Amino acid sequence: MASTRAVLIWGALAVAVIVPVAIAAHSPLLAWRSPVYIAAGLAGVVAMTLVLFQPLLVGGYLPGLPRPRGRRLHRWVGAALVTAVALHVAGLWLTSPPDVIDALLFVSPTPFSAWGVIAMWTVFAAASLAALRRRLRLRPRVWRLGHTALVMVVVLGSVVHALLIEGTMGTVSKVVLCALILAVTVKVLLDLRTWALLARSWR
């Protein structure tokens, strides 16, 4: 019974991750695009799938990965997420510097750009806070609240960014992936009682 459940969970996760990437890789919108542009777009899709993994690892929801081991892997996936975001932005910069500059300055006419930039900076901020945790000598509660607040912005910004783009991911697969990201993130926040800590700290 447990093995069947594990297979179903890992199988569902594999579908949720592989399908959007496969659809994006075979999208007709990539016809005649440069390899750098294609790589940048796929890096963005991969980044979204990595966002899905993060709360699953923290919450210990994946079979074979109990919470302590999941949290260690969470750090490595976080590093991969930062790399994917950096490759996404760097690739777009190489193909169209003016568009990236407009996005970074929040003057782009496309609303999804602003949400993408917000998500990018908060990804970098959350990763930096995790990397500098010991050096900053933050109390565990303060660090957890800060990191969680940044992660919430990452999730919101990433989801809105993806949903507003009429791009290569495909409407259905994109909506499903974003819904899963939101659902799992909310679940881990509730399970770990982070909402209670946040509410208490804001009073």
Is 165:109 a contact under the CB 8 Å cutoff?
no
Structure token pair of residue 201:
């700290």
Helices (H), 26-139: 35-59, 67-95, 97-104, 111-131, 133-136
Domain boundaries defined on the chain: 2-202
Structure token pair of residue 62:
């994946």
pTM (2 d.p.): 0.90
The span from the CA of 87 to the CA of 156, in Å, is 21
Is 22:42 a contact under the CB 8 Å cutoff?
no
203 residues of the chain, pLDDT tens digit each: 667 888 888 998 999 999 999 999 999 888 888 999 999 999 999 999 999 999 999 988 898 888 888 888 999 999 999 999 999 999 999 999 999 999 999 999 988 999 999 999 999 999 999 888 888 888 888 888 889 999 999 999 999 999 999 888 888 999 999 999 999 999 998 887 655 555 454 44
Is 87:111 a contact under the CB 8 Å cutoff?
no
The span from the CA of 59 to the CA of 103, in Å, is 34
Q: Is the dihedral of CA 85, 88, 94, 96 positive or negative?
A: negative
